[in-house]
Amino acid sequence: MAAEKREMEERIAEAKRFFDTYKKEIGKSIREDRKVIIVDFNDLSSFSHQLAEEVISGPEEILQILESALDDLGLIKNARVRFINIPGAQKSKIGHIRSKHLNKFILIEGIVRQASDVRPQVVNAKFECPTCGTIISVLQIEKKFREPSRCSCGRRGQFTLKTKEMVDAQRLVIEESPESLSGGEQPRRLNVFLQEDLVEPKMEEKTTPGSRVEVIGVLKEVSLFHCKQVLFQPDLT
C-alpha cells in the first residue's frame, strides 16, 4: 500500500513538472475563462514517455493524475485535460473494434446519426457497507443504476447509498462514413457518451445529426464509448 501511494505521488510530481512547461496553454485557458487544458500528445511524449504510454494504456487513471496535478499547482481548479494529436496507431474503424480495445484510448471517425437531448446523469455513486463502514464507489456507465455486488468484508447486497455525482451528458450514435468502407461492407454504428464541457451549447451545435466528427475516448465495452474529446472535420462530400 505504501509503495502504491509513493508511486502515485511520484507520477503526480512528474505531471506537475510537465505542466510547469505548459503555462502558456494554461494561461490561455484562464484568460478565456475555460476549465479545459488542451494537451498535444507529442508534447507529453517528448517530456515523459512513461506518462504518454499510460495515457494510451490506462487513460482514466492517468487523466485523474494529470487533473490532480493541475489542482495542486493552484493555477486552475477543477480543470479537464483534453488531448490532440494522439498516435495514428490508436485510430480504429468502428467495425474493427474488438475486446483488445477495452479501456484503451482510441480515436474513431464517422457521421453523427443520432443525438439525444442533454440531461443530468449519475456518473459515480458512493455506497457505505453497513457491516464494516467501507465506502464503495461504483462508476455508472450503463443505463441501469448499478450497486456494489459485494464488499471486501464479504457482505453482499443492501448497501447504503451515500452520494451521487451528477454531470450533464448526451448520447450520440456515430456511423462509419461511406468512403471509409470497402466492397460490400455495411456501415457500423457506435454509441458515444459526452459529458461536461463536451455538451456545452457551442459543442452541441457541432454534434447535430449529419455532422462529421473525429472522437477521442475510452472504450468501456463493445457498445459503449466514453468520449473524452470531439474533433470536427470539414464536410468531405
**Residue 108 CB-half CA count within 13 A:** 29
Q: Each residue of 129-183: pLDDT tens digit?
A: 999 999 998 877 666 788 898 898 989 989 999 998 888 989 899 999 988 888 7
For the domain covering 2-84, report its CATH number: 3.30.1640.10
Q: Residue 232 has what pLDDT?
A: 46
The CA-based angle 108-138-204, given to 5 degrees, is 40
Q: Residue 176 has what pLDDT?
A: 94
Fold of 88-118+168-232: OB fold (Dihydrolipoamide Acetyltransferase, E2P) (2.40.50)
- The answer to whether residues 124 and 75 touch, using CB atoms and an 8 Å cutoff, is no
CA distances from 72 to 2, 31, 58, 119, 146 (A): 21, 19, 21, 31, 32
Counting every residue written for the chain, the total comes to 237
Question: What is the 8-class DSSP label of residue 91?
Answer: B
C-alpha 222/C-alpha 31 separation (Å) is 39
Q: What is the mean pLDDT of residues 187-211?
A: 90
C-alpha cell at 115: 443525438
C-alpha cell at 81: 485535460
Q: Answer yes or no: is pLDDT of 193 > 90.
A: no
The CA-based angle 158-140-131, given to 5 degrees, is 25
**Neighbouring-strand partners of residue 91:** 107
Q: Residue 1 has what pLDDT?
A: 54
Q: Each residue of 52-91: pLDDT tens digit?
A: 999 999 898 899 899 999 999 988 888 899 999 999 999 9
Ranges of each domain in the chain:
2-84, 88-118+168-232, 123-165
Domains 2-84 and 88-118+168-232 share a fold: no
**Residue 157 CB-half CA count within 13 A:** 0
Q: Each residue of 19-55: pLDDT tens digit?
A: 999 999 999 998 988 889 999 999 999 999 999 999 9
Q: Each residue of 84-140: pLDDT tens digit?
A: 999 999 999 998 888 888 888 999 999 999 999 998 888 789 999 999 999 998 877
